[in-house]
Amino acid sequence: MPIVIIGAGMAGLTCANYLYQRGRDILLVDAQDVPGGRVRTDIVDGFRLDRGFQILLTAYPEAQRLLNYTALDLQRFRSGAAIHHDEPSGGNWMKLLNPFSEPLSVFQTLFSPVGTLSDKLLVADLIRRVQSLSTSELFTQPAVTTATYLRDFGFSEQIIERFFRPFFGGVFLEDDLTTSSNFFEFCFKNFFLGDAAIPALGIGEIPKQLASRLPGDAIRLNTPVDRLEGKTVHLASGESIAAEAIVLAVDARSAARLMGNEEPNSTRFNHTTCTYFSAPAADRPASLKADKLLMLNTKRSSSVHNLAILTDVAPACAPADQLLVSVSTQGLVQVDADALARQVRSELTGWFGESVQGWRHLQTDHLPEALPTYGPDAQHRPLRLAEHLYQCGDQTAYPSLNAAMQSGRLVAELI
């Protein structure tokens, strides 16, 4: 009998890879038509559109352990951000660059109006602190909200509003920075130690790589599981599979349903909306610099929160001579995709000029359950639920690819 892993997201695929490496008989079943779960790339008119803006931090310990970065052909963003800030005086863009990866930027960073000089010295203290703690130690520190942590650390409101809120609001998918300081420290450390990257052909290449290492008959797609009964997995099709052990590698809502627990309500998730545009590269506005930086907007009441010119970083994600632009908007509960695209175009026309009006709207992805919330009281969950039943996934730990992969590996080791 195989070990049946329910869910072929990053957690299930990682678990399957480690078990298969050790010669175990595995069967991975997933309700969707491709492996990867929340990590997915759609191909639309020759453009490769990730389902929601998503990056791999190359310093993630679990990713380094299992992924082949060379084969993924990782394309890296520059370390830092270009920050759009409305000033009555007009000057709209500020840059914050990482002087550790770009030593020549140190003066630019010191004099940038993003924060005070004291803020910049505090960033060095923060780097020292997170580097002195291992990943597991980071998650056992006393936790408060990220907003409280930053103020207690001594950062000014100026740098919180101009950098931390727009940048980490985009990472946590919530702008109030109520996410746990432990997760903030983890993210800060991994942003500092490595690069923010995407595979040349889109984020979906990551699960594709893990799936390609498994035998073809070990993955059954379009196969939703209806219920569990002891060591038997009942599929929605009516078929039953006897298992040596069962691993639940599903999202928080499906895990609750399959275990007969109350399903989490919508406030237990952070959501995001991603709007994609294309334009001929020849029509690129002169003010839209190709500097491979994430663009942030400090005005969080607008529709453009974070912006990336994906083709500057990963040109193969679009047909030749086309720009691919991704715009993320946090906090929308319901989305009228056309109205949002119009609003985004109108705001970006103010940033880059009239040619933005000609940008073609390619797709809108609204992801109401993108990340499980992770407040200061969040508890990591046990991975072994019963003698033959295990669980993994970001919902058992914290909302990140690293957590999904780590929990998948730990379950494989338990088995």
Ligand X SMILES: Cc1cc2nc3c(=O)[nH]c(=O)nc-3n(C[C@H](O)[C@H](O)[C@H](O)COP(=O)(O)OP(=O)(O)OC[C@H]3O[C@@H](n4cnc5c(N)ncnc54)[C@H](O)[C@@H]3O)c2cc1C
Instruction: By CB under 6 A, tell whether 307 contacts ligand X.
Output: no
Q: Exposed (0-12), middle (13-18) or buried (19+): which is 352, by Cβ within 10 Å?
A: middle
Q: Does 185 bind ligand X (CB under 6 A)?
A: no
Report the nearest approach of ligand X to the CB of residue 236 (Å). Answer: 8
Comparing CB distances to ligand X, the nearer of 264 and 285 is 264
Task: Tell me the site size for ligand X, rule CB under 6 A.
Answer: 34
Q: How many CB atoms lie within 10 A of CB 379?
A: 7
- Which one, 127 or 256, has the nearer CB to ligand X? 256
Our finding on whether 210 is near ligand X (CB under 6 A) is no
Angstrom distances, CA of residue 137 to CA of 91, 142, 396, 400: 42, 10, 17, 17
Nearer to ligand X, 7 or 80 (CB): 7
Of 23-31, 74-82, 149-157, 302-310, which part binds ligand X (CB under 6 A)? Answer: 23-31
Q: CB nearer to ligand X: give 171 or 356.
A: 171
Candidate ranges 29-37, 136-144, 295-303, 306-314; the one touching ligand X (CB under 6 A): 29-37
- Round to whole Å and give the CA distance between 222 and 44: 21
CA distances from residue 50 to 65, 233, 245, 287 in whole angstroms, order as listed: 24, 31, 33, 26
- 232 contacts ligand X (rule: CB under 6 A): no
State how far the Cα of 389 lies from the Cα of 42, in Å rounded to an integer.
33
Letters for 388-407 (x = contact with ligand X by CB under 6 A, - = none) are -----xx----xxxx-x---
Q: Measuring CA to CA, how many Å separate 151 from each of 190, 191, 377?
A: 21, 20, 19
279-298 binders of ligand X (CB under 6 A): none
Q: Are 218 and 156 in contact (CB under 8 A)?
A: no
Instruction: Return the H-helix or E-strand segment holding 28.
Output: strand 26-29
Range 364-393, binding ligand X (CB under 6 A): 367, 370-371, 393
Residue 249 or 356: the one with the smaller Cβ distance to ligand X is 249
> What does the chain come to in residues?
415
Site for ligand X contains 8 (CB under 6 A):
yes
Q: Residues 311, 318: contact at Cβ < 8 Å?
A: yes
Q: Which are the contacts of 179, defined by CB distance < 8 A and separation ≥ 6?
A: 145, 146, 168, 172, 373, 374, 375
Instruction: Examine residue 322 and tell whether it contacts ligand X (CB under 6 A).
Output: no
* Residue 100 structure tokens: 């550790």
- The candidate with the shortest Cα–Cα distance to 250, out of 2, 17, 14, 11, is 11
Helix (H) or strand (E) holding 307: strand 306-309
Largest CA distance in the chain: 70
User: Which of 40/120 has CB closer to ligand X?
Assistant: 40
Part of the chain binding ligand X (CB under 6 A), chosen from 9-17, 66-74, 112-120, 295-303: 9-17
Q: Where are the alpha helices (DSSP H) in 30-177?
A: 61-66, 69-72, 106-111, 117-131, 135-138, 146-153, 157-159, 165-172
The yes or no reply on residue 224 touching ligand X (CB under 6 A) is yes
Please select the residue that binds ligand X; options are 19, 94, 159, 250, rule is CB under 6 A: 250
Q: Single out the segment in contact with ligand X by CB under 6 A; choices: 30-38, 85-93, 214-222, 343-351.
A: 30-38
* Helix or strand holding residue 12 (H, E): helix 10-21
- How far is CA 302 from each of CA 85, 173, 248, 348, rounded to the nearest angstrom? 12, 15, 39, 11
Tell me: does residue 332 bind ligand X (CB under 6 A).
no
Smallest distance from ligand X to CB 199, Å? 13
Q: Is 340 in the site for ligand X (CB under 6 A)?
A: no
| Using rule CB under 6 A, residue 61 touches ligand X | no
Q: Which is nearer to ligand X, 106 or 332 (CB)?
A: 332
Piece in contact with ligand X (CB under 6 A), picked from 4-12, 150-158, 315-323, 382-390: 4-12
Decide: is 169 part of the binding site for ligand X (CB under 6 A): no
Q: Is 119 in the site for ligand X (CB under 6 A)?
A: no
149: CB partners within 8 A, 6+ apart: 181, 184
Q: Among 150, 218, 225, 327, indicate the residue that binds ligand X (CB under 6 A).
A: 225
Give the footprint of ligand X on this chain (CB under 6 A): 6-12, 29-32, 37-39, 52, 54-55, 224-225, 249-251, 254, 272, 367, 370-371, 393-394, 399-402, 404
